[in-house]
Chain A
């Protein structure tokens, strides 16, 4: 099938480009190294925070108090205050653990995978998203630690030679979880901190107060921007990105193993690992949007977090949402195709059993709502994006509810059937963990630059010393 058109003719630049095809910049024009530095560091170094920040801090602080009270009660009384009971031994604790850890994944995805894919638009959102990762992992980590029943013995999870001459049981996916989550938390923290070092040096140099100077000075480790340092720094950053990428995929994979190694219909499915990972990225981007849309308004960051960032996140949400929906379809198809009565019953019960409303809402939130992202008008409206992101936040919580209690509540024997409802302590702890998450976030935006300043400088046109020298 030979080409119809002559191969040598180059189109003249006469055509007017319609407005919608003019690319939205990742940084609004008119900024300089100084203006970027001053604008972002001023958020941290100013004396007065906006009123809304105080409202948010107070509200989330209240959440932390609820959390403290709930944990206090839990330590005094035990996990009996939760709604878990036979046959449902895993309830809100694991549900919220998975929800939170999933949210964290977008941070690593933005900072590592998009870096490796040379997606430059990641630059203004990666710091914020990484902080979100850390705080989400902190909130997630609370649940399994407390679910052990006697959290003061949690150190038994770590392999160390002890007087009981016992070792952890490494065949258990729950042990894999311990290693996956603690590695993930450590590496995310390292990645975040390494990214922060040059910006901490900026804050050290720009802070007026003595205490602030000393603290930022110590945290910046004496960074002085030497060319030799930058070279090793950049290699390290790329290598960390290369390490974080498989790591982040492995974390939710291992979380999915918690369920999938079991023989329980509804849990034992080989596609769980990619299904969970896609769901995690999906939930994470929804949460980044949920936080970024108000934050860019509150701190006047529209020049740095442009519509391009928001639209791209909307697209990623659509893509991962479709993978999640593919998984729901596969679950239904394989329930039938397995030819296994228990598998088939599991799915029928999921859709039409006592928890059918959860499943219906799940399909609305995760199946229908993200389809709005096919439309450019929705992707480029903050209200539209925010609304869809909220649907996804709820939807991903429902997904875990549908997977966990719904699979458990109909045991193989009808005599061991039961129902599950979270108690007020369950809800208290969920609200409390949200309080913790937001509390840490509010502190983060107060004390650390929420946009990577040095990376923003490299985005400016004046940063191109060698225009042709870009190599990744």
Chain B
């Protein structure tokens, strides 16, 4: 969605279901039918649904890696900060303790590691999810406000190589949805 460029036409076709099982079945059917560019929307996380809509995932790993990197940077940074300030930049004799009082640096090292790891987790999640994104075509669907209540949606996007409005429409209709509508940009 480049700024300044007005898109026209169809974003995709969306179908509404009334149970998580129906949605999962529909998403799996769409995947088996060869659709790749799609997304499912639900009012709560549904296990393994992300795989049905074509997201490749290996457990926690991508988020875990971010958190690990954040934690390592934070930890090293925290220790370095204490060490640099109290050993290199301004050494002071406090209570006869050595300048490099490493046991005393541990608490701050730990706190900094946790802080940076948490930042990496939250901001990494938001960035990977492309949030914040106040406008999105699916919000144009009139009943989409029910996606945060008790309804379940499956959208097949127009950029899918197999996308053809009529076929997709018929395909979704055959999955016994509550209704099918197309999503304008």
Asked if the two chains touch in their complex, CB atoms less than 8 Å apart, one says yes
Q: What residues of A have a CB within 8 angstroms of the CB of B40 in the complex?
A: 226-227
Residue B48 is within 8 A (CB to CB) of chain A in the complex: yes
Residue B39 is within 8 A (CB to CB) of chain A in the complex: yes
Question: Do A463 and B44 touch across chains, with their CB atoms under 8 A apart?
Answer: yes
Q: What residues of B have a CB within 8 angstroms of the CB of A170 in the complex?
A: 81-82, 85-86, 104-105, 108
Residue A231 is within 8 A (CB to CB) of chain B in the complex: yes
Question: Do A194 and B122 touch across chains, with their CB atoms under 8 A apart?
Answer: yes
Q: What residues of A have a CB within 8 angstroms of the CB of B92 in the complex?
A: 169
Interface string of B23-57 (1 = CB under 8 A from A): 11001000000000001111111111110110101
A224, A250, A466 interface centre (most CB from chain B within 10 Å) = A224
Contact size range, A: 35 or more
Taking the closest CB of chain A, its distance from the CB of B132, in whole angstroms, is 4
Residue A254 is within 8 A (CB to CB) of chain B in the complex: yes
Q: Which of A172-180, A342-350, A352-360 contacts B (4 or more CB under 8 A)?
A: A172-180
B92, B146, B148 interface centre (most CB from chain A within 10 Å) = B148
Q: What residues of B have a CB within 8 angstroms of the CB of A465 in the complex?
A: 19-21, 23-24, 46-47, 49
Q: How far is the CA of A244 from the CA of B67 in the complex (A)?
A: 13
Main secondary structure of the interface of B (DSSP, over half): helix
Question: Do A462 and B19 touch across chains, with their CB atoms under 8 A apart?
Answer: yes
- Contact A179/B125 with A222-B134, A227-B41, A239-B64 known, Cβ cut-off 8 Å: no
- Contact A202/B43 with A167-B89, A239-B60 known, Cβ cut-off 8 Å: yes
Residue A145 is within 8 A (CB to CB) of chain B in the complex: no
Residue A308 is within 8 A (CB to CB) of chain B in the complex: no
- Contact A235/B46 with A170-B104, A462-B19 known, Cβ cut-off 8 Å: no
**What are 16 sample pairs from A and B whose C-beta atoms fall under 8 A apart?**
A167-B90, A171-B95, A172-B94, A179-B111, A183-B115, A190-B118, A202-B43, A202-B149, A224-B136, A228-B50, A228-B55, A240-B122, A243-B118, A250-B114, A458-B44, A466-B24
* Residues of A421-472 contacting chain B, CB below 8 A: 454-455, 457-458, 462-466, 469-471
Question: Do A227 and B39 touch across chains, with their CB atoms under 8 A apart?
Answer: yes
- 19 A-B pairs besides A230-B50, A231-B45, A231-B49 with CB distance below 8 A are A167-B89, A170-B104, A171-B95, A173-B107, A183-B112, A205-B145, A221-B132, A222-B135, A227-B53, A230-B46, A235-B62, A236-B121, A239-B117, A240-B122, A246-B114, A250-B107, A250-B114, A465-B19, A465-B47
Q: What residues of B have a CB within 8 angstroms of the CB of A62 in the complex?
A: none
Among A180, A205, A221, A458, which residue has its beta carbon within 8 angstroms of that of B148? A205
Q: Which of A29-37, A362-370, A384-392 contacts B (4 or more CB under 8 A)?
A: A29-37
Please give me the residue from chain B that is nearest to A254 by CB atom. Answer: B107
Residue B174 is within 8 A (CB to CB) of chain A in the complex: no
A residues with a Cβ closer than 8 A to B are: 32-34, 37-38, 159, 165-173, 175-176, 179-180, 183, 186-187, 190-191, 194, 198, 201-202, 204-206, 217-218, 221-236, 238-240, 243-244, 246-247, 250, 253-254, 257, 454-455, 457-458, 462-466, 469-471
Question: Do B132 and A222 touch across chains, with their CB atoms under 8 A apart?
Answer: yes
B residues with a Cβ closer than 8 A to A are: 19-21, 23-24, 27, 39-50, 52-53, 55, 57, 60, 62-64, 67, 71, 78, 81-82, 85-86, 89-90, 92, 94-95, 97, 101, 104-105, 107-108, 110-112, 114-115, 117-119, 121-122, 124-126, 128-129, 131-136, 138-139, 144-150
Q: How far is the CA of A32 from the CA of B19 in the complex (A)?
A: 11
Question: Do A239 and B126 touch across chains, with their CB atoms under 8 A apart?
Answer: no
Q: What residues of A have a CB within 8 angstroms of the CB of B108 in the complex?
A: 170, 175-176, 179
Q: What residues of B have a CB within 8 angstroms of the CB of A194 in the complex?
A: 122, 125
Question: Do A240 and B118 touch across chains, with their CB atoms under 8 A apart?
Answer: yes
- Contact A233/B129 with A225-B42, A227-B41, A454-B44 known, Cβ cut-off 8 Å: yes
Question: Do B55 and A227 touch across chains, with their CB atoms under 8 A apart?
Answer: yes
Taking the closest CB of chain A, its distance from the CB of B85, in whole angstroms, is 4
Q: How far is the CA of A228 from the CA of B179 in the complex (A)?
A: 23
